Amino acid sequence: MPAIKTVTVIGVGLIGGSFALALRRNGYRGRILGVSSPATLERALGRSVIDEGRLLHEAVPQSDLVYMAQPVPVIVQQLEQVRAHAPRHALVTDAGSTKRAIVERARELFDGGPEFLGGHPMAGKEGRGVEIAEANLFDGATYALVPTGRSIPESQVLDEFLGWLNAMGCRARLMEPIEHDRIVGWTSHVPQIVATGLAAAIGGGLPGSRDLEIAGDGLRDMTRLAASPYEVWAGILQTNQGVIDDALCAVISELEALRAALKSDGAAKHFERAQALRARLKGN
């Protein structure tokens, strides 16, 4: 018998909706309940992402798996309510983009009863909302698993959840919350800030409506992340400020050094280091 008969997705947007669609694509036959705003639930039902929309206190008590896919501050705020309503056998997990604040709060709340396992699928798009959710969004993605202790607790529900992640094509990686936030600060958060700054600077430097007619694909590639709305990033920037600041200082220092090197023949070493990083990325 399957351990997960009912899943509740709290936050049926891009990530939560994609998780639900991926479950269905890979053969999940149980119920999927959604907790979101009425407008979001209507769109999710229209796309058959969920079976029913419910309020949190109605859905969570019925659930074997609770998947929290909201902004990080909202997850932190709602953990206590989810803990209060979740059955003792249930697994509560999240998809927040930073982990320290979430896991620290979960350590305070989850002691016996339902288990908590922090998570973060390294997948996404520039937009938001259930309208652009995809069943294959997690295919080939690294999926960070961040437990409240040093190891993942054993349970039938958790084993089945890990099996679904594997069926979706995810590559699970066990991490500590501080390690996770340090790495994604460099690999995800700072690229977003740099793309935002670059696009804002070019927009100010080339304000004419026809100036970008001769822009090449390089600019489009470099500014792809700049399409992301601030609402998606506000909580991430708030909960990983220290790492982001350190990484931004390093980027600014590198740009200043490269700027100085343009006056001589010293720019080559900067290009070489950049090419080495690019080669490492292509190998992963």
Is residue 111 over pLDDT 90?
A: no
pLDDT(1) > 80: no
Average pLDDT over the chain, rounded to an integer: 94
How much of the chain, in percent, has pLDDT values that exceed 90? 87
Domain 6-175 and domain 180-282, same fold? Reply is: no
Q: What is the mean pLDDT of residues 165-177?
A: 96
What string of H, E and C letters represents the secondary structure of 179-247?
A: HHHHHHHHHHHHHHHHHHHHHHHHHHHCCCCCHHHHCCHHHHHHCHHHHCCHHHHHHHHHHCHHHHHHH
Using an 8 Å Cβ cutoff, are 243 and 189 in contact?
Answer: yes
pLDDT value of residue 154: 81
Domain ranges of the chain: 6-175, 180-282
Q: Is 104 helix (H, G, I), strand (E, B) or coil?
A: helix
| 123-157 pLDDT per residue, tens | 988 788 999 999 999 999 999 999 998 778 789 99
- Give the orientation angle of helix 72-85 with respect to helix 230-239, to 10 degrees: 80
Total residue length of the chain? 284
| Predicted pLDDT at 283 | 76
- Please say if the pLDDT value at position 284 is more than 80: no
Fold (CATH) for 6-175: Rossmann fold (3.40.50)
Residues 72-105: tens digit of each pLDDT: 999 999 999 999 999 999 999 999 999 999 999 9
Supply the pLDDT for residue 136: 96
Q: What confidence tens digit (pLDDT) does each residue in 257-278 have?
A: 999 999 888 899 999 999 999 9
Fold of 180-282: 6-phosphogluconate dehydrogenase C-terminal fold (1.10.3660)
The confidence score (pLDDT) of residue 113 equals 81
Token look-up 């001769």 returns: 214
pLDDT the model gives residue 18: 98
Q: Of residues 211 and 46, which shows the higher confidence score? A: 46
